[in-house]
Structure 1
Amino acid sequence: MIENLLKEMTIREKVGQLNQRLYGWQVYEKVNGRIELTNYFKKEVAYFGSIGWIYGVFRADPWTNRDLNTGLTQEEAFEVSQMIQTYLNEHTRLKIPAFLTEECPHGHQGLDATTVPVNFCSGASWNPGLYQKVQECVAKEIRTTGAHVGLISALDIARDPRWGRTEECFSEDPFLTSCFTEAAVRGLQKEDGHPLVLAVLKHFAAQGASMGGHNAGPVVIGERELREIHLPAVLRSIRAGTSAIMAAYNDIDGVPCHINPFLLWKFLREEGGFEGIVMADGCALDRIAEHFGDPIRAAEEAEVVIVTFGGSSIREFETTFDTNGAALSGSNEMTSGENIDLSDLSVPDCQSELIQELAKLGKSLIGVVITGRPVIVSPLADYFDSLLYVGYPGQYGGEALANIIFGKRNPSGKLAISIPDAEGQLPVFYNFRDTDFNENYLHLSGKPVYRFGYGLSYSNFALEYSEVSLEGKQIIVSGTITNDSTIAGKEVIQVYLKKYTNKWLPRTKILVGFDKSTIYPTENQQFHINLSISELEFLGLIADDLLTVPFIVQIECAKQIVRFRYDPTNTIFKKISD
């Protein structure tokens, strides 16, 4: 049927199917209390004779200039979706319905939708299972409107916190990001006879590694860095069954991602076996032509214990935007988002002054950092009795925050992105290559003030016992963790690997597994983390000769670090001391 349809289509009809150029919020208007399809939409249909994709029909924000009065409620959205499909059925030769695509950076970006934590916040939960359930709810809200496709940032790795879109990243780490990427796909596309919505994952690839943290800036990295850091999440998404992948605005070593044969063909199609759709981002192809011719629980688990202060990604309706939705000008109160790249990550002066004045009162002070990226809090940390780093926790964030502050919930988040002490240290991601260079500066340590994987709890945990063994093609990490306090809590056991090789410089360590469990007071709980050699090879985290060379497995839990060295001669793991 599809082959016959393609043979019957004209070139213009095929272009109409593939060219997602319609801004959906421009296809309808409210007139005297009624909703009507616009002449703009009707002319587009008449010209192409076929419309395949319509972007953002139900989006409501300052860029679209749709608000509570001019935008669509969920009930109205479904009505408009039916109007669109009916019109296409009645006014096109082949009667092909259109895919309606919607953004879901913090839940469905439309009226009446639930606002959930952004990726920067979700990654700190170290709970991809919970994130998957949240995305199932997001998918249901999207389908309720009559839309079919969800666009979600799930491939970007946060390597420079100056980048304005850090809020869209799960982590600075490829493995942790991959776990959440898979959860995004399985949540949005959960099948009950057919997928809830089709997932489009963005951005492919290495957008988070731009020079200077500039949005859509050039990326200068080699193939090894690309494969080890930025591509594992892509492979994981393919295996999870993602329907589509969106190319990134940036170039890599001078070749734009949208026309990069290594990325789009060799890696994605030949190596990854991807058979889905590759979608262009916004106006990227036009630019190339120019140049070359349960939301509360989700928020609670992301709170990291380390006066509310920080920043905002809120766009004002006075803001002006580029054609792709990036902010061009507007309120200087915006501190995160597309095109909001910063050279200064400090807390704003007015907030800093307020904190210092409040500290003079001599009362207990709790700091709550609301932000879409790491900000430099070390100059103010001593003023606080405790510090909560909450990101953008969604519409139920206030309730989650109150539950934690008043002891109804125990914080269990771990940082998914390292927090610098000063901009001059950048980058401070944990998985550097292990060389002899001095990481410190003359007047400043090179270490982040709060490292990847760090986070406190009201409970006191202890790693009582641990061991590592090899069973076939699996590394088994097991042990016992104890809660020595009177408060139940959740702890994350983190497993890292460091490989020794004479082929290239290894990284200091790479995350290869983790487990998050609830441990009750005085309880001893066992954990087992299975590391599949083939899985690690598939994600590009190790080479295929892992078991022929020495390497170290490092277990981090409850402020403790335990290391085991693998002996390839005897194929055993031996515990080592520092």
Structure 2
Amino acid sequence: MSTVDMPAASARVRELLARMTLEEKLAQLVGFWVDKGDEAVAPMSGEMSVAAQYEQAIVDGIGHLTRVYGTRPVDPVERAQWLWEQQRHLRENTRLGIPAIVHEECLTGLAAWKAATYPTPLAWGASFDPELVEVVGRAIGGSMRELGIHQGLAPVLDVIRDARWGRVDECIAEDPYVVGLLGTAYVRGLQSAGVHATLKHFVGYSGSRSGRNHAPVHAGSREVRDVLLPPFEMAVREGGVRSVMNSYAEIDGLPVGGVPDYLTGILRDEWGFDGVVVSDYFSVAFLHTMHAIAADLGQAAELALAAGIDVELPTGHAFLAPLAERIRAGLADEGLVDRAVLRVLAQKDELGLLDETFVEPPASVDLDSPRHRALARRLAEESIVLLTNDGTLPLQAPSRIAVIGPNADSPEALMGCYSFANHVLAHHPEVPLGFEIPSVLDRLRTEFPDASISHTPGCAVEGEDRTGFASAVEAAASADVAIVVVGDRAGLFGRGTVGEGNDVDSLDLPGVQRELVEAVAATGTPVILTLLTGRPYALAWAVEGAGAPAAVVQAFFPGEEGGSALAGVLSGRVAPSGRLPVSLPRSAGAQPYSYLHPMLGGPSPVTSADNAPVLPFGHGLTYTRFERSALTTPAAVPAEGEFEASVRVTNVGTRAGTDVVQLYAHDVYASVTRPVAQLLAFQRIALEPGESAVVTFTVPTSRLAFTGRDGYRLVEAGAIEVWVGASCAERETEAVVDIVGPDHRVGTEDRLIVRVQTAAVGDPTRV
């Protein structure tokens, strides 16, 4: 008899389970990649099922249909007609009549042909705008639901630990609260449209050694609890997320997908998650082939189910025949299968699939509507970070502009790794993009119609070819200003300079791009260095000292409207308001680095190695100046309470602008070492010249919690320094709060999110 505890489920779902054969149960726990064919999107993925096997595969039903829109460039309307037919077949011609969940990637918008491409998540982080990210999520979810898609494989809640890791552009920030708040906003947006979000990658994936993809993770339990887990907890408890994807990582020798510690012990038992856990692609088989903790695929399937994985994606290599054989041999408990099936059927019931009739597919769809483009443009504009500026920006109607660099006239350079264009169309060069994505050069010509604009790439993103330098130097020497657009090309597993599997051991700009910038700067023409990248690069040479460009502008893959956003920032039509969501590194040798370091983790007189970032987390310039003053807090607060921190923000410049008000804290003395700075909360606020406002943060003391010596998270009594500044490194106005009373052990009843209110000075009504 099974000893597996069964989850709560409706009578309808339990009745369905009771009628199922073992084969029908297992069919609900796998995906089928019907369009996969022989194309390989990932190394070590094994032999794929082909379309000819599909009819036999769905005799017993199917749990998921894998990326029916996102595997090849297919017309969305034609594909919807195909999908509705498949769902009708499952409804009408299988014994139990259970339709499939359809899942797709949606990290930078729906990953399908002709769909809008939004800024990459690292740009979300730079915007510091969770309200906008929620609206974006709702718009993306609307397109997905219209096409019969039920589950999106996003957002990525991995906290950035090492800029060398190729998947940095998929992440939001190096701060857990920023990751959690923006990720939770995306979850709410997507799910409000009727599409289940999927958190990934739970947990530890970004902490791999040396920034190498799939490398072991050797994070201590305190780092896991205090840095890597909080974003997921926020999305579960505050966002109500319905799906989670396991991490490929092995943490201290324990593969997350093969032990119950994380997916069951923390996710379900501690946080109360009652949704479905899906495997990252091929990760069940990896327990056998890569982690070597399972002797065969059947044992891998059993370990995964016991750990808490409910669905094997993208196919059923382990959960079908190998698991069935193991169960029939009496080696595995069928109760593990029943538990997972109950969860999957409950999800299908929640999505309405058990009642869906699939009458008519959409006759037309607009996946790149004006609303999509407007949202993509706004998010791109808010995400651009002005790193340095000697006053050259905004440009004052130059008559001659030299536009130089390999990314200046490259639409692909505006898009992240998981955009459909870079993820799929790279395999289909004969197929057009299917949507409009003007390059930076295109939009500069629109932005400055009266200027004479010349263009030369100068060099490629990669490689050692310098033959284009001479024409670049000549163009710059003849211009009033040179806009040099350099950076990355996103791709997968060796196709590009950043993206999944494209990890690096250097944080210098790829190829000879730095040499190109320096050659152009040597002409004496003012240079606007414009970066289109998926990671922060080591840019001390461009930020510090003599010979640096007149201005440096950072854009993290800003999407289809990124060219317009960048042109607007350079002209002054758009006021820059982005902030660095990740520290600008000193060097590759300083990695891994986080601003959340304890005292001994920063620069020190006892070492000659300097790991201080070139620019700190939270940094970003504007075209005006903000003054932050009069921070007020209570003198003391109980350890289980909350406190208000109010600060006055004034635009003391001559232009309208948006400030990102950043509230930081430092626990002066604690029972374990604490970071020298920790972001407690933030808020965007737009102010006209001379205008002031008061921003009030209501901070639950749980924001100051950490894992104590006994392994439990607690709020400890003691003095807390609190400040507001333009970045984590600037204390513009300060206060001290004493945490008093007995220490407080943090539980699931404690709030995780800071409430924020703003009030115009002189207006007693807070808005």
Q: TM-score range by the shorter chain?
A: 0.7 to 0.9
Q: Distance in 2 between matches of 1:441 and 1:387?
A: 33
Q: Distance in 2 between matches of 1:140 and 1:440?
A: 55
Matched residue of 2:630: which SS? strand
Aligned to 1:503: 671
| 2:443 is the alignment partner of 1:281 | no
| 2:181 is the alignment partner of 1:13 | no
Q: Comparing 131-140 with 283-292, which one deviates more in the overlay? A: 283-292
Task: Give 1:350 deviation, angstroms.
Answer: 2.7
| CA displacement, residues 268-314 of structure 1 (integer Å, 9 cap, x when unaligned) | 11111111111110111101023121110100111000155677744
Contact 2:706–2:715 (CA under 8 A) maintained in structure 1: no
Distance 1:23 1:508, change over 3 A: farther
Task: Give 1:523 deviation, angstroms.
Answer: 0.7
Q: Comparing 359-368 with 404-413, which one deviates more in the overlay? A: 359-368
Q: Distance in 1 between matches of 2:642 and 2:269?
A: 27
Q: Distance in 1 between matches of 2:731 and 2:630?
A: 11
Q: Distance in 1 between matches of 2:602 and 2:573?
A: 46
| 2:223 is the alignment partner of 1:225 | yes
Distance 1:433 1:260, change over 3 A: farther
Aligned identity (percent) is: 30
Task: Give 1:435 deviation, angstroms.
Answer: 3.5
| CA displacement, residues 88-135 of structure 1 (integer Å, 9 cap, x when unaligned) | 123311110100000012101001211001111110111111111111
Aligned to 1:362: 524
Aligned to 2:622: 457
Q: Aligned letter for 1:226?
A: V
Q: Distance in 2 between matches of 1:269 and 1:378?
A: 45
Matched residue of 1:275: which SS? coil
Matched residue of 2:552: which SS? strand
Contact 1:120–1:171 (CA under 8 A) maintained in structure 2: yes
| 2:165 is the alignment partner of 1:163 | yes
Q: Distance in 1 between matches of 2:113 and 2:740?
A: 62
Matched residue of 1:374: which SS? coil
Contact 1:482–1:519 (CA under 8 A) maintained in structure 2: yes
Aligned to 1:317: 427
Contact 1:309–1:369 (CA under 8 A) maintained in structure 2: no
Contact 1:235–1:539 (CA under 8 A) maintained in structure 2: no
Matched residue of 1:550: which SS? strand
Q: Distance in 2 between matches of 1:108 and 1:531?
A: 35
Q: Distance in 1 between matches of 2:675 and 2:538?
A: 26
Matched residue of 1:418: which SS? coil
Contact 1:439–1:447 (CA under 8 A) maintained in structure 2: no
Tell me which of 378, 391, 409 is aligned to 2:540: 378
Contact 2:618–2:726 (CA under 8 A) maintained in structure 1: no
Contact 2:663–2:680 (CA under 8 A) maintained in structure 1: yes
Q: Aligned letter for 1:19?
A: V
Aligned to 2:268: 269
Aligned to 1:34: none
Contact 1:309–1:368 (CA under 8 A) maintained in structure 2: no
Task: Give 1:563 deviation, angstroms.
Answer: 2.6
Aligned to 1:301: 382
Matched ranges for 1:509-520 at <5 A:
509-520=677-688
Contact 1:77–1:146 (CA under 8 A) maintained in structure 2: no
Distance 1:464 1:199, change over 3 A: same
Matched ranges for 1:131-170 at <5 A:
131-170=133-172
Task: Give 1:438 deviation, angstroms.
Answer: 5.1
Q: Distance in 1 between matches of 2:602 and 2:64?
A: 51
Q: Aligned letter for 1:201?
A: L
Matched residue of 1:153: which SS? coil
Distance 1:390 1:327, change over 3 A: closer
What is the root-mean-square deviation in Å for CA atoms of aligned residues?
2.6
Q: Distance in 2 between matches of 1:450 and 1:441?
A: 22
Contact 2:665–2:722 (CA under 8 A) maintained in structure 1: yes
Tell me which of 53, 58, 62 is aligned to 1:51: 62
Task: Give 1:79 deviation, angstroms.
Answer: 1.3
| CA displacement, residues 305-335 of structure 1 (integer Å, 9 cap, x when unaligned) | 015567774463299xxxxxx9445x4xx11
Contact 2:64–2:103 (CA under 8 A) maintained in structure 1: yes
Task: Give 1:231 deviation, angstroms.
Answer: 0.5
| CA displacement, residues 155-192 of structure 1 (integer Å, 9 cap, x when unaligned) | 201100110001111001111111011101101001xx
Distance 1:92 1:536, change over 3 A: farther
Tell me which of 563, 566, 571 is aligned to 2:734: 563
Contact 1:25–1:58 (CA under 8 A) maintained in structure 2: no
Distance 1:338 1:388, change over 3 A: same
Q: Distance in 2 between matches of 1:406 and 1:502?
A: 49
Aligned to 1:186: 188
| CA displacement, residues 403-441 of structure 1 (integer Å, 9 cap, x when unaligned) | 111101101011011111211111231001233875468
Aligned to 1:247: 246
Contact 2:34–2:54 (CA under 8 A) maintained in structure 1: no
Distance 1:346 1:91, change over 3 A: same
Task: Give 1:216 deviation, angstroms.
Answer: 1.3
Q: Distance in 1 between matches of 2:601 and 2:626?
A: 34
Task: Give 1:477 deviation, angstroms.
Answer: 0.9
Task: Give 1:543 deviation, angstroms.
Answer: 4.8
Q: Aligned letter for 2:253?
A: G
Q: Distance in 1 between matches of 2:16 and 2:669?
A: 55
Contact 1:536–1:542 (CA under 8 A) maintained in structure 2: no
Q: Distance in 2 between matches of 1:94 and 1:308?
A: 59
Structure possessing the higher relative contact order (Cα contacts under 8 Å, 6 or more residues apart): 2
Q: Comparing 369-378 with 201-210, which one deviates more in the overlay? A: 369-378
Matched residue of 2:153: which SS? strand
Distance 1:189 1:308, change over 3 A: farther
Matched residue of 1:463: which SS? strand
| CA displacement, residues 200-241 of structure 1 (integer Å, 9 cap, x when unaligned) | 110000111100101111100111110000010111011111
Matched residue of 1:355: which SS? helix
Contact 2:650–2:687 (CA under 8 A) maintained in structure 1: yes
Task: Give 1:149 deviation, angstroms.
Answer: 0.7
Task: Give 1:396 deviation, angstroms.
Answer: 0.6
Distance 1:348 1:96, change over 3 A: same
Distance 1:342 1:493, change over 3 A: same
Contact 1:440–1:447 (CA under 8 A) maintained in structure 2: no
Distance 1:346 1:203, change over 3 A: same
Matched ranges for 1:23-38 at <5 A:
23-25=34-36, 38=51
Matched ranges for 1:471-550 at <5 A:
473-534=641-702, 537=705, 543-546=713-716, 548-550=717-719
Equivalences, count: 537
Q: Aligned letter for 1:252?
A: I
Distance 1:24 1:233, change over 3 A: farther
Aligned to 1:174: 176
Distance 1:395 1:526, change over 3 A: same
Distance 1:535 1:505, change over 3 A: closer
Contact 1:355–1:383 (CA under 8 A) maintained in structure 2: no
Gaps of 5+ in 1: 28-36, 320-325, 572-578
| CA displacement, residues 470-514 of structure 1 (integer Å, 9 cap, x when unaligned) | 677221111211111121111111112222444211121211111
Task: Give 1:533 deviation, angstroms.
Answer: 2.3
Q: Distance in 2 between matches of 1:417 and 1:403?
A: 24
- Higher Rg of the two aligned structures: 2
Matched ranges for 1:387-426 at <5 A:
387-426=552-591
Matched residue of 1:42: which SS? helix
Q: Comparing 16-25 with 518-527, which one deviates more in the overlay? A: 16-25
Q: Comparing 76-85 with 513-522, which one deviates more in the overlay? A: 76-85
Aligned to 1:31: none
